[in-house]
Each structure stands twice: as structure tokens, then as C-alpha cells.
Structure 1
Amino acid sequence: MDKFKIFFTLFFGILLTSCIPTKDLIYLQENDKKSDFDQTVETVNQKPYRLQVNDILNINIKALDTKLVEIFNANTQTTGAINEQGVYFNGYHVDDHGNVRIPVLNEVNVLGRTLEEVRIAIEKRLLDEYFTSDAGIFVVVKLAGFRYVVNGEVESTGTKIMYQDRVNILEAIANSGDITVTGDRKDVIVMRRFPHGTETFHIDLTDANSMKSPVFNLQPNDYIYVKPLKQKTWGTGKTGLESLTTVITILSLATTTFLLLRN
């Protein structure tokens, strides 16, 4: 009877510890339950992105008379579907000195500037050197896609590009097929480049307070890494049924081996 109790306790201990709890799979959980009337909307203060080396820009210069600005838009892709290859070959690359080369204007320094600051600088040069205000100069400056890298326990790893101005980490992960069942949502690593070097951040995506993290809203060229849970290393199964099957298999193998050695 004592041996049965020991076996029973060991069996369920393995079964429980090898399963992945549901609370480890749910995003943005509230620690304190509040009524809908108690919840308040908090503003998100996101600083504008400042351009770095190797960024790719899409710059489009417009005017009342389109022929006046055709030469300035020599690199701009105006027809056909926009794809990653087209963006790479037709976009304006920020070189190692922080400059982009624009037809006629030549080099324009953009390093450390926001997109709005670059737009204003280009418009000022055009109006100071080539046009009057009557030309109706209108400049559009955008990142040629929001680029980031995701690796680890997600369905689709690699470099991703999303064509929108802002991307949060949940959108980025969803665009990568979501985190697998064996991925650690409680300790996702985000590596971010700064002028002084690269910094590493940790974020718990199961906690609603993660929305206040400085890396919840991504910046272009961020690197996201999702670590595996210990259950994947053990190989015992992600669910109770898988774990039960594993335990039964091990017990069957042990019983068979014991009987063979006994005979």
C-alpha cells in the first residue's frame, strides 16, 4: 500500500510539473480585478523615433506642377506594388555618416533626427535654393517599412517588415505567428540599438503593466527573442494529455525492461 502511495504521488507530481499552466499563456493579465467603472485610460508617451545608420527612407517631393519636381523624385517608386526588394533598391539608405543622397540636393544629414525634422529640413532647402512659396512644395518623409527581427519560440522567425508608423510588441509577435506554447511569455528579451550602443530589456507579456514598459512600443531595428520554457527541454509534453502519454510510455518501457532482465 505504501509503494502504491509513493507511485501515485510521484506520478501526479510529474504530471503537474510538466504541464504548462494556462496563466503562463494569457497575455496582459490584470493582477487586481476592477469593475469597468474603476478602470481609467492611461496615455502612452512614446518618444518619436530618431533615425540611425542603415535605416531606409521613402522621400517623396510634390508640387503644384509635378514636372518641376520630377528630378528630385528619381529614386521614388511610384508604380507597381511596393515590396521589400523595391524598398531596398529605391529607398534612401542612411549611410555610415548619417547622410542620405537625394537627386540635386545631394547629401542631407538625417542622423539623430525625427522624420518630421527631416521633412522640415528638406522643405527649407528646396524653398531657399530652388523654389518660391508659390510652387506649393510638399514633402513626405516616411520610414520604408517598420523593420524588426524576431527569433526563438515563435511560429515564424526572421526579419519582418510592417508598413505602418508604429508597432507594439504584441502586433510584432502576432505578425510572426504568435509565441508557441513552449515559449516563455514572462521573460521576452528586446535588444535595442542606441547611439551609445545596444541595450537589453526584459518584458513580461502576461502582465498588463507591460504596456508601461519602454519596449512595449517597438522601435525600428529592434531584436525580439522569446526563450523556451523548461517543459520543452524536458520533452514531457505541453498539455496534461501529452504528459500522461509520456509517463505511461516511460512506465511501460521500465516494466518491459524489468521483466526482460528478470527472465
Structure 2
Amino acid sequence: MVIFAYKIFKMTKNCFYLLLISTFFTSCIPVKDLVYLQDKGTVGNETTVSSIVLKPYRLQVNDILNIDIKAIDPKLVAIFKSTEVENSMGKSESQLYFNGFTVDDHGNIRMPILGEINVIGYTLEEVRVKIEKKLLEEYFKTEANIFLTVKLAGFRYTINGEVGITGTKTLFQERVNIMEAIANAGDITTVGNRKAVTVIRQTPTGVQMNDIDLTDENVMKSPYYYLQPNDYVYVKPLKQKTWGTGQTGIQSVGTIITLLSLATTVYLLLKN
């Protein structure tokens, strides 16, 4: 019985060391897989990444516009304003949705007096010029001194996968990069794959999908580094999550000890 117990102990010990070594090589997540924007090419603390030229966003179906018209005489522009929005101190996301101008399936928006205006494929600046021209020609006089601004009713994107808070997000700013979008979603979890973050983008020519490596600083040169409205971001899990052996060395060792203890107990019970 003593010899048998010794053999069991020796076998368990050897298995423990073997599994321990393999776990450290396969289960633990390296620090380099968790750090963003690493300098993988040059040596030194200071690097310069060439910026990319951003093309202006062109409107698509279901975009919502916030159009604000001002004039010296407020009565002249009262018809273009929502009473609910006018009386509020700020514009909530729901107010912008219900009171904004939505681009319909035909690429048009409908405005009081002016009727339908085609805006599909236009930039915000082109829409502003187009509406201002129609107002001066059909409603105001040139000397009315109107001031017109056209903006998207929030920058909307959807993020899913291994992040803190999934779902559709809205940021009230002109430009949003992938790092800001992820930070707004509670960052990528430890088991999220930062080296292959998928961005799905709807364009006038079709759907584009691309993976970007957020651990490489050169990602800032990618046309997908800056998001466009209605982009979908998906963070895939690392293989360590499916293994379930732990995200750190301590967690992995704890898992192995538990499994070995269970296996030894079962073996001894069956043997007896």
C-alpha cells in the first residue's frame, strides 16, 4: 500500500510539473498583448506617426441631422424650431432623434417650407450650403442675415464582444477614434484580442470589414482608426478564454491544483 501511494504521489507530482510548465507557456496572457500603441519598429521613447488625411463623412440613409437656423428676427425662423427643444436647456439623445431630420430611404430630408431636400452622399458642409441657398431663394431675403449650422445628431456606433459595456453608443463630438470608442465602452477586457479588432463599415458602395491591431502604434495610419457614424466594432476573445484555465499565472496554477486534487481523489476512491 505504501509503494502504491508513493507511485501515485510520484505520478501526480510529474503531471503537476508538466501541466504547470505547459500552462505558463500557453494559458497566461503576455503583457505585450495587453498594451496599446506599442512602438514595434524603432528604438527610443519618442516616435512620430504620420497622420492620415480624413475624408469628410458623406451622409447615408437613416442618418439624423440637427439643423439650427438663426436670424436677427427670431420670429422668421420659429417655424423651423421644435418647441420642446427650444424650451429645454439641452438636447437629449431622444430629443435629437424625434426632432431631428432623418435621411429617408430615398436620401431625402423633409423641412418646413422647403419640403424634401436630397442629401444622400453630401457632406455636412455641402448640406449647409444647399439649405442656406434654398432659404435665401425661397423664404428669406438676402439681407436677412441668417446663420445656419448642420451637424449629425450625435456620433453613433455599436460595439460588441470583449468590452466592459456593449451596445450602441452616442458621443456628441465631430470625430471619434477607435481608442475613444473603446474607452467609452469600458475598455477591452483582459481576454479581448487587441490585435484583431474588427470594424464593419457601411459605405455607399457596400459593406467594408477590416481588422486592426491596437497594440501597434501604426494603427493610427489606418483609415479605420477614426470611426465613421454607424460603424460596428467587434472585439474577439483570446483563445485563453475558451480554455478556462485562467488569465494569469496564479489563476492557472490554482486551476491545475484543483483539477489534480480532484483527479487524485477520484482515482483513490475508485481504487479502493
Q: TM-score, normalised by structure 1?
A: 0.94
Residues 1-263 of structure 1: matches in 2 within 5 Å?
A: 7-35=16-44, 39-40=47-48, 42-74=50-82, 77-78=85-86, 79-263=88-272
Taking only aligned residues, the RMSD between alpha carbons, in angstroms, comes to 1.9
Question: Over alpha carbons, which structure has the higher Rg?
Answer: 2
Aligned length: 262
- 3-state SS of the aligned residue for 2:85? coil
Counterpart CA distance in 1 for 2:107 and 2:163 is 33
Q: Structure 2 unaligned runs (5+)?
A: 1-6
The answer to whether the 8 A contact 1:63-1:137 is kept is yes
The answer to whether the 8 A contact 1:57-1:92 is kept is yes
Q: Structure 1 unaligned runs (5+)?
A: none
Report the alpha carbon displacement of residue 130 of structure 1 after superposing the two structures with TM: 2.0
- 3-state SS of the aligned residue for 1:70? helix
The answer to whether the 8 A contact 2:158-2:233 is kept is yes
The answer to whether the 8 A contact 2:192-2:237 is kept is yes
Which residue identity lines up with residue 149 of structure 1 in the other structure?
Answer: T
Alpha-carbon displacement from aligned partner over 1:190-234 (angstroms, at most 9, x marks no partner)? 100011221111101111111111111000000000011111101
Counterpart CA distance in 1 for 2:82 and 2:165 is 36
Counterpart CA distance in 2 for 1:157 and 1:6 is 40
- 3-state SS of the aligned residue for 1:57? strand
Report the alpha carbon displacement of residue 89 of structure 1 after superposing the two structures with TM: 0.7
Residues 211 and 241 of structure 1, relative CA distance in 2, 3 Å threshold = same
Counterpart CA distance in 2 for 1:199 and 1:125 is 35
Report the alpha carbon displacement of residue 48 of structure 1 after superposing the two structures with TM: 0.4
- 3-state SS of the aligned residue for 1:77? helix
Which residue identity lines up with residue 125 of structure 2 in the other structure?
Answer: E
Report the alpha carbon displacement of residue 36 of structure 1 after superposing the two structures with TM: 5.6
The answer to whether the 8 A contact 1:99-1:109 is kept is yes
Which residue identity lines up with residue 139 of structure 1 in the other structure?
Answer: L
**Larger mean Cα displacement after TM superposition, 58-67 or 80-89:** 80-89
**Percent identical:** 59
Residues 41 and 226 of structure 1, relative CA distance in 2, 3 Å threshold = closer
- 3-state SS of the aligned residue for 1:95? coil
Q: TM-score, normalised by structure 2?
A: 0.91
- 3-state SS of the aligned residue for 1:140? strand
The answer to whether the 8 A contact 2:51-2:221 is kept is no
Determine which structure has greater relative contact order: mean sequence separation of CA pairs < 8 Å that are 6+ residues apart, divided by chain length: 2
Alpha-carbon displacement from aligned partner over 1:149-200 (angstroms, at most 9, x marks no partner)? 0001111011100000100011001000001111111101110001122111
The answer to whether the 8 A contact 1:71-1:103 is kept is yes
Report the alpha carbon displacement of residue 41 of structure 1 after superposing the two structures with TM: 5.2
Report the alpha carbon displacement of residue 129 of structure 1 after superposing the two structures with TM: 1.7
Report the alpha carbon displacement of residue 87 of structure 1 after superposing the two structures with TM: 1.4
Report the alpha carbon displacement of residue 123 of structure 1 after superposing the two structures with TM: 0.7
Report the alpha carbon displacement of residue 10 of structure 1 after superposing the two structures with TM: 3.3
